[in-house]
Amino acid sequence: MPQPAKLEIKFVSEGPEPTDPADPLWKKSTAVHVDEYWNGKKAPVGRRFNAKLLWSAAALYVRFEANQSEPLVISEKPDLTKKTMGLWDRDVVEIFIAPDRSEPRKYFEFEAAPTGEWLDVALDITSGTRKSNWEYASGMEVFSRIEKGRVIMSMKIPWTAFGRTPKEGDVWLGNLLRCVGKDPDRGYLAWRPTMTEQPNFHVPEAFGEFRFVR
């Protein structure tokens, strides 16, 4: 069955600790199960993932729990002190967010790896050409934990990263994504499949709705 185009993000007065993937606050969120590649084809069970989202007055919280049935593709010497360029070439989970639903071609990308490496970038494709602001500094926090058969990665993204704070009932747009494995069998999973000929996540027309609720 196709994934729903809408995802409700529940409010919490105080967010879960990014360093505690088992924080009971995550039980307040409904898990989104992602089992399709970017082209709509089913991904193997060992590559599928769940995502949970919560929001508070201070930040957005995102938790990914990914099945892992193959060797990890990760850096041998991760540097957690700064964003990791090229992180998308290894195992990674991602969230794309467009705060202004009237202009989905201006959006933000946040990535987290099993090693705890991270990347954030502001994107603008209103001209038809993708413009990436690599100087963008969101202040995001990331925590990752590798377990037997799964990887857990969580993010805390302050509202200052978007220049605005959502209100109850607001709708933002975006997508939830995962890159896993090596070529020629590398997998590109998407909550909202982009249906492009070649793997491509940067398709705002495919974004689903993130609705902020209490």
Low-confidence ranges of the chain (pLDDT < 50): 1
Q: Give the pairing type, strands 6-11 and 49-55.
A: parallel
Name the residue with tokens 């995802």. 7
List, in order, residues 6 or more apart from 105 with CB less than 8 Å away: 98, 124, 125, 126, 204
Q: What tokens does 105 get?
A: 């071609």
Q: With DSSP H G I counted as helix, E B as strand and the rest as coil, what are the percentages for the chain, rounded to 5?
A: 10, 40, 50
Helix, strand, or coil (residue 151): strand
**142, β-bridge pairs:** 155
Q: How much is the pLDDT for 162?
A: 98
Residue 1 confidence (pLDDT): 41
The answer to whether residues 172 and 189 touch, using CB atoms and an 8 Å cutoff, is: no
Q: Where do the domains of the chain lie?
A: 6-12+28-76+86-213
pLDDT value for 3: 57
Q: Which residue has the tokens 């794309």?
A: 96
> What fold does the segment set 6-12+28-76+86-213 form as a domain?
Immunoglobulin-like (2.60.40)
Instruction: Give the pair of three-digit tokens for residue 185.
Output: 């069998």
Strands 208-213 and 118-124, bridge-based pairing = unpaired
Rounded to the nearest 10 degrees, how much is the dihedral formed by the CA atoms of 127, 130, 135, 137? 90
- 77/79 Cα distance (integer angstroms): 7
The rounded distance, in Å, linking the Cα atoms of 101 and 160 is 18
